[in-house]
Amino acid sequence: MINKSLKELAALLAAKQISSVELTREFLARIARLNPTINAFVTLDEERTLAQARAADERIAKGEAAPLTGIPIAQKDIFAAHGWRTTCGSRMLENFIAPYDAHIVQEFDRAGAVNLGRTNMDEFAMGSSNETSHYGKVRNPWDVERVPGGSSGGSAAAVAARMCPAATGTDTGGSIRQPASLCGLSGLKPTYGVCSRYGLVAFASSLDQAGPMAKSAEDLALMMNVMAGFDPRDSTSLPREKEDYARDLGKSLAGLRIGLPREYFAEGLDSGVAQVVQNAIAEYRKLGAQIVEISLPNNKLSIPVYYVLAPAEASSNLARFDGVRYGYRAPEYADLNDMYCKTRAQGFGAEVKRRIMIGTYVLSAGYYDAYYLKAQKIRRLIAQDFVEAFKHCDVIMGPTAPGTAFKFGEKTADPVQMYLEDLYTIAVNLAGLPGMSIPAGFAGNLPVGLQIIGNYFDEAKMLNIGHALQQQTDWHLRLPEGV
Ligand code: GLN
């Protein structure tokens, strides 16, 4: 049961071979057994979850099921969900019960999916290892001494350990793709504006995007069919027709032009990862694709640019956590100013404070032109690189992350080492493009992801490209030992 695709689960539910309550209980039992080690979930509410499962069973009985009705889905703890504690990995929101639903939570509810629980994450989605969560680190099911990646590491570990069939994530600079790579999953960051950010706790609003994490590309397509779509409550949501993300699955790849950026196969890339990526590309050649060498000359600037722009936006977004409106408030203080200072000093962790300080600095009078404005200009050049590249190829492929899952503590002492984890993912967010990671093999017994970057709104095409590899290989179905 645990390794079945969403489509297979839906078929079992439709045929009444299993009920949603039974299926949900099976995953809840796995969570009870595995979560004490993995720490992928921060909040569970069995009663609420099972009530949804019962409602789904009634809907199925009435013949009114949608494709995901009755299927349990885990939600990253960044999406407001009415009545659920929504912590965003922070002490600041430790006791915050969301009074409304994020758009995508609402869409999953409408589809009849079952909300299985809330997954752990780096605090305010800042991190690449899930070590910054106030609720403790998440362990990688492939090796519990190693990180699952971040910031959607709880969702990634939950799917990898088959504690849920699929989960949601968010990706500001790589937070869906990098943990998907490190945990052996498929994950998609859609084109900016495709999934509504309404009810998603804001980190860097011009980069944040919600997306699905699951075993296969086909499962991602079914998740996208629920998550994507216009929402007037998010001013950056794009008014586009609803589309079927599974519509291209099974199409031939003959003649597909795959661009390999020279800069992605250079210094900094682990040789084992490079080998896995090359093998996957060889597989695509067999499927009829052609390889084109391309260049993304400004890629090397993407990390410095991101670490000016993302903290700038974060410093402004996180100003709302002031101890007045909602969230944590320091228990003792002398006056209003002291209350602000103590609340923020106690409520935020070290990485979040680092970002707020950098962000405030780069936006301050006298430094704005030198840092923020300069970074915005380079952001445009980075986006322009992709426009140029897509004149010569249909999709871009390369590694998702420079290495495999690393040990706890290995990169915490030096933030810059941690930031380099997103060397191949951040430019995609800066340009607003869709990016996906799919499992492509192993290096030293640890999963390795292949990144597929598409042009704007090419998600359906990318999902088919991922699906095609998954028809030839079984990397996406491998299970970590002990799971
Ligand atoms: N690792 C990056 C950061 O720390 C990206 C995080 C994300 O995508 N949310 O900001």
Helix (H) or strand (E) segment spanning residue 170: strand 166-170
CATH number of the domain residue 19 falls in: 3.90.1300.10
- What mean pLDDT comes out for the span 451-476? 98
pLDDT for 232: 97
Q: How far is the CA of 77 from the centre of ligand 1 (A)?
A: 15
Q: How far is the CA of 131 from the centre of ligand 1 (A)?
A: 12
- Largest CA-CA distance found in the chain, in angstroms, rounded: 70
Residue 75 lies in a domain: yes
Structure confidence at residue 447 as a pLDDT band (50, 70, 90):
very high
- Cα gap 244→231, rounded to integer Å: 17
| 200-253 tens-digit pLDDT | 999 999 999 999 999 999 999 999 999 999 999 999 999 999 999 999 999 999
- What mean pLDDT comes out for the span 294-310? 97
Q: Is the pLDDT of residue 483 over 90?
A: no
Residue pair 44/81 in contact (Cβ under 8 Å)? The answer is no
Q: Is the pLDDT of residue 338 over 90?
A: yes
Q: Is the pLDDT of residue 1 over 90?
A: no
Q: Which atom of ligand 1 is nearest to the CA of 207?
A: 8
| 146-165 tens-digit pLDDT | 999 999 999 999 999 999 99
| Residue 249 burial (10 A CB sphere; 0-12, 13-18, 19+) | middle
Q: Which atom of ligand 1 is nearest to the CA of 170?
A: 9
Q: Which residues of 292-322 are buried (b: 16+ CB within 10 A; e: fewer)?
A: eebebebbebbbebbbbbbbbbbbbbbeebb
pLDDT for 83: 96
Q: Is the pLDDT of residue 81 over 90?
A: yes
| 12-41 tens-digit pLDDT | 999 999 999 999 999 999 999 999 999 999
Q: How far is the CA of 361 from the centre of ligand 1 (A)?
A: 19
Structurally, the chain folds into a number of domains equal to 1
- What mean pLDDT comes out for the span 323-343? 97
pLDDT for 86: 97
Q: Which atom of ligand 1 is nearest to the CA of 175?
A: 8
Radius of gyration of the chain (CA): 21
Residue pair 195/223 in contact (Cβ under 8 Å)? The answer is no
Residue pair 79/104 in contact (Cβ under 8 Å)? The answer is yes
Q: Which residues are catalytic?
A: 76, 151, 175
| 383-436 tens-digit pLDDT | 999 999 999 999 999 999 999 999 999 999 888 889 999 999 999 999 999 999
Structure confidence at residue 482 as a pLDDT band (50, 70, 90):
confident
State both tokens at 8. 């297979």
Residue 284 lies in a domain: no
Residue pair 249/385 in contact (Cβ under 8 Å)? The answer is no
Its pTM stands at 0.98
State both tokens at 467. 């699906």
Return the residue whose CA atom lies nearest to atom 10 of ligand 1. 126
Q: What is the DSSP track for 360-377? A: HHHHSTTTIIIIIIHHHH
The dihedral through the CA atoms of 156, 157, 161, 163 has a sign that is negative
Residue pair 122/89 in contact (Cβ under 8 Å)? The answer is yes
Residue 179 CA neighbour count, 13 Å, CB half: 43
Q: At a CB cut-off of 8 Å and minimum separation 6, what does 36 contact?
A: none
Structure confidence at residue 333 as a pLDDT band (50, 70, 90):
very high
| Residue 181 burial (10 A CB sphere; 0-12, 13-18, 19+) | buried
- Cα gap 321→461, rounded to integer Å: 40
State both tokens at 221. 């397509």
DSSP state of 78: T
| Residue 406 burial (10 A CB sphere; 0-12, 13-18, 19+) | buried
Q: How far is the CA of 171 from the centre of ligand 1 (A)?
A: 7
Residue 241 lies in a domain: yes
pLDDT for 242: 93
Would you call 401 helix, strand, or coil by DSSP?
coil
E strands in 208-344: 210-214, 257-261, 290-294
What share of the chain has pLDDT > 90, as a percent? 98
Phi, psi dihedral angles at 211 (to 5 degrees): -165, 170
- Cα gap 191→458, rounded to integer Å: 8
Residue 202 lies in a domain: yes
Q: Which atom of ligand 1 is nearest to the CA of 429?
A: 8
Residue 409 lies in a domain: no
Q: Which amino acid is at 467?
A: H
Residue 142 lies in a domain: yes
Q: Which amino acid is at 78?
A: I
Helix (H) or strand (E) segment spanning residue 464: helix 459-472
Q: How far is the CA of 147 from the centre of ligand 1 (A)?
A: 15
| Residue 470 burial (10 A CB sphere; 0-12, 13-18, 19+) | buried
Residue 166 lies in a domain: yes
- What mean pLDDT comes out for the span 121-141? 97
Residue 351 lies in a domain: no
Domain that holds residue 180: 6-255+458-477
- What mean pLDDT comes out for the span 117-126? 98
State both tokens at 111. 């589809």
| 260-285 tens-digit pLDDT | 999 999 989 999 999 999 999 999 99
**Site residues for ligand 1, CB cut-off 6 Å:** 125-128, 151, 171-175, 203, 310, 422
What does pLDDT average to over the chain?
97
